[in-house]
Amino acid sequence: MEKLIYLDYAASTPLDPEVEAQMLPYLRRVGNPSSIHTAGRHLKAAIEEARTTIAELLGAEPGQIIFPSGGTEADNQAIRGAVATWSISHILFNPTEHHAVLHTIESLSRAGKVQAHPIAVDAQGRIELTHLEELLRKYPRSLVAVMYANNEVGTLQPVETIAELTQRYEGLYLCDTVQVMGLGWVYLRDWPVDFIAASAHKFYGPRGVGFLYRRRPIESLITGGAQEREQRAGTENVAGIVGMAYALQKAYLRSSSYGRRLWELKTYLIERLRQDFPFVIFHGDISLEGSHPGILNFRFPSSIADDMLVLHLDLAHVCVSGTSACASGSGHPSHVLQAIGIPAEEAKRALRFSWGAETQMSDIDTALSALKSAIALPT
Site residues, ligand PLP (CB under 6 A):
70-72, 75, 98, 100, 147, 151, 176, 178-179, 199, 210, 324-326
Pairing of strands 210-214, 195-199: antiparallel
With respect to ligand PLP, which residue has the nearer C-beta, 16 or 75? 75
Which of 194, 150, 203 lies closest to 174 in space, CA to CA?
194
Residue 220 Cβ vs ligand PLP, minimum distance, rounded to whole Å: 18
Nearest CB to ligand PLP, comparing residues 68 and 169: 68
At residue 131's C-alpha, the angle toward residues 130 and 137, to 5°, is 90
Choose between 98 and 299: whose C-beta lies nearer to ligand PLP: 98
CB of 232 to ligand PLP, least distance (A): 15
Shortest reach from residue 306's CB to ligand PLP, in Å: 26
Question: Cβ contacts of residue 234 below 8 Å, gap of 6+?
Answer: 222, 224, 225, 227
Name the minimum Å distance from CB 326 to ligand PLP: 6
Residue with smaller CB distance to ligand PLP, 304 or 325: 325
Whole-angstrom distance, CA of residue 267 vs CA of residue 227: 46
With respect to ligand PLP, which residue has the nearer C-beta, 103 or 312?
103
Is residue 319 part of the annotated active site? The answer reads no
How would you classify the pairing of strands 318-319 and 5-6? parallel
By beta-carbon distance, which residue lies closest to ligand PLP?
71
What is the nearest approach in angstroms of ligand PLP to the Cβ of residue 174? 11
Nearest to 352 by CA among 318, 329, 322, 332: 322
DSSP labels for 30-83? Answer: ---TT-SSHHHHHHHHHHHHHHHHHHHHHT--GGGEE--SSHHHHHHHHHHHHH
Residues 6+ away with beta carbon under 8 Å from 19: 204, 205, 206, 243, 246, 247, 250
Q: Which position among 326, 365, 368, 375 bears the catalytic label?
A: 326
Residues designated catalytic: 326
